Amino acid sequence: MSHLARNSLVVLIGVLALLANLGNTLVQASNQLDAEESDPKKLDWMMGFPPPPDKLIMQPESDFFSFPKLRWTVCHIQELMPTKLVSRGIGTPVPLEYAIDDGIDAVTFTPMDGGKAMTWKESLSANYTDGILILHKGRVVYEKYFGCLDEMGKHAAMSMTKSITGLLAEMLVVEGQLDDTVTVSSIIPELKDSAFGSATVRQVMDMTTALDYSEDYSNPKADIWAYSKAASPLPKPRGYEGPNGYFEYLQSVKQEGVHGEAFGYRTINTDALGWIISKVTGKNLAHLLSNRIWSRMGAEQDGYMTVDAKGTPFAGGGLSAGMRDLGRIGLLMLNDGKINGQRLFPKEVMENIRAGGDKKAFAQAGYKTLKGGSYHSMWWVLHNKHGAFAARGVHGQTIYIDPTAEMVIVRFASFPTAKNAQIDPTSLPAYQSVAKYLMKE
């Protein structure tokens, strides 16, 4: 491979590693194909023995995360990136109970933008849904698979990984293993001279750190590109003198502003939190997730996490998993740390997360579809009448938890553009309408 090609590939894979926090779209021709037309099976991506050259999605192609190839890639990250196992252990899976409700498809709602009323079923294709699961009172009432996903498949969770990282951190705080009031440098001396050094653990957990860091993808000099190169798991190109891996990059981030004043959604906060967690527990994030949650919740499938060149799991967006297992995460959160008759973490963990973060700090970020919300321990808290909160990832990934309706929704998607602001107007009111429907049962 030429020096130029390798250099391009390093940047490309770094961008994939940051797909959980894309600020701008990486896709092209986003309006050319609808959900049915862009179905990867219909387009024959990677079909054949071997697939024809024009149907290949592989390294070092420069567009494997562009639409419509994106719709295949989200189910096949492990074939493109090195990963670390999140083991379910060797115990017998605990099956979920079922009580399918066919009436959900006909539930109607009005989009946030005041557009034409839609049905729940119509919203699924409108949002390029790959998989959707609804649990009510602990039972599966709705389950559908589309596109690249089936019940045996795994899908990129993207930035929902952040929320699971935040859950682990909150568990450690409540259990007394992690003090969220201390500075990061007191736990990680290597970050003493970085922006993170003077921030508290809680400021990292709530993303109210003041960082001189830009994720403006339209600017070729933005910090995101240096981070992308550092995060790449491939050998660095000849002449490269920058940081290698997530942890080395974090040491180079400088401060701009005052910690604690404003919310700023930046993936590097979660990478810093992953390092904090590993320092405190002596375990890498994938191992800890398996040990504390995945192997204990009755999971059906192993998960996996992408890693950098040094084997560090990507805390900010590297998880891929089966849909029903993320449903189990939702049930665990809904039931205050209990699942299958076992308590996996104290009830106080959920009390803290559901209370939410600083609304004034959050408001400064200007999220039009999440007005009145907050961000706490890497979870999005809506502060609506039902007390809903969520894990969210670009291109439409969601674990939406409604305590009042005793409802969990898990959605995997491959929407053509990354920003959830494009999807929220038809997703959030749809979730709320299904919650109201279920509460009438």
Contacts of 223 (CB under 8 A, 6+ apart): 212, 213, 214, 215, 253
Q: How far apart are the first and last CA of the chain?
A: 61
For the chain, which residues make up each domain, given as ranges? Answer: 3-73, 97-159+322-439
Confidence bin at 3 (pLDDT 50/70/90): very low
Which of 325-358 are b and which e, b meaning 16 or more Cβ less than 10 Å from the residue's Cβ? Answer: bbbbbbbbbbbbbebeeeebbeeebbebbbebbb
Confidence bin at 293 (pLDDT 50/70/90): very high
Whether the full predicted model's pTM is greater than 0.95, yes or no, is: no
Tell me what pLDDT residue 228 has: 84
- Residue from 132, 135, 118 nearest 408 by CA: 135
- Taking 60 as the threshold, does the pLDDT of residue 48 lie above it? yes
Confidence bin at 32 (pLDDT 50/70/90): confident
Query: CA-to-CA distance for 9 and 291, rounded, in angstroms?
Result: 34
97-159+322-439: CATH superfamily: DD-peptidase/beta-lactamase superfamily (3.40.710.10)
Place of tokens 């049962």: 441
Burial class from Cβ neighbours inside 10 Å (0-12, 13-18, 19+) for residue 305 reads buried
Average pLDDT, the chain: 91
| Apex 154 CA angle, 53 and 47, nearest 5 | 20
Place of tokens 């996903």: 149
Determine how many CB atoms are found less than 10 A away from the CB of residue 125: 12
pLDDT digits (tens, 9 = 90+) for 200-234: 999 999 999 999 998 776 678 888 889 888 998 98
Rg for the chain, CA atoms, rounded: 21
* CA–CA distances in Å: residue 242 to residues 30, 194, 237, 253: 34, 15, 11, 13
Tell me what pLDDT residue 9 has: 40
- Taking 50 as the threshold, does the pLDDT of residue 58 lie above it? yes
Strand segments (E) across 68-128? 83-86, 97-98, 108-109, 118-119
Tell me what pLDDT residue 22 has: 40
Confidence bin at 439 (pLDDT 50/70/90): very high
* CA–CA distances in Å: residue 26 to residues 74, 149, 359, 419, 426: 14, 22, 30, 10, 22
In the numeric block, which tokens belong to residue 196?
């993170």
Query: CA-to-CA distance for 132 and 410, rounded, in angstroms?
Result: 6
- Taking 80 as the threshold, does the pLDDT of residue 93 lie above it? yes
pLDDT digits (tens, 9 = 90+) for 235-256: 888 999 999 999 999 999 999 9
Tell me what pLDDT residue 135 has: 98
* CA–CA distances in Å: residue 92 to residues 95, 301, 322, 341, 347: 9, 11, 16, 15, 26
Tell me what pLDDT residue 272 has: 98
Tell me what pLDDT residue 60 has: 63
Tell me what pLDDT residue 365 has: 95
pLDDT digits (tens, 9 = 90+) for 367-424: 999 999 999 999 999 999 999 999 999 999 999 999 999 999 999 999 999 889 999 9
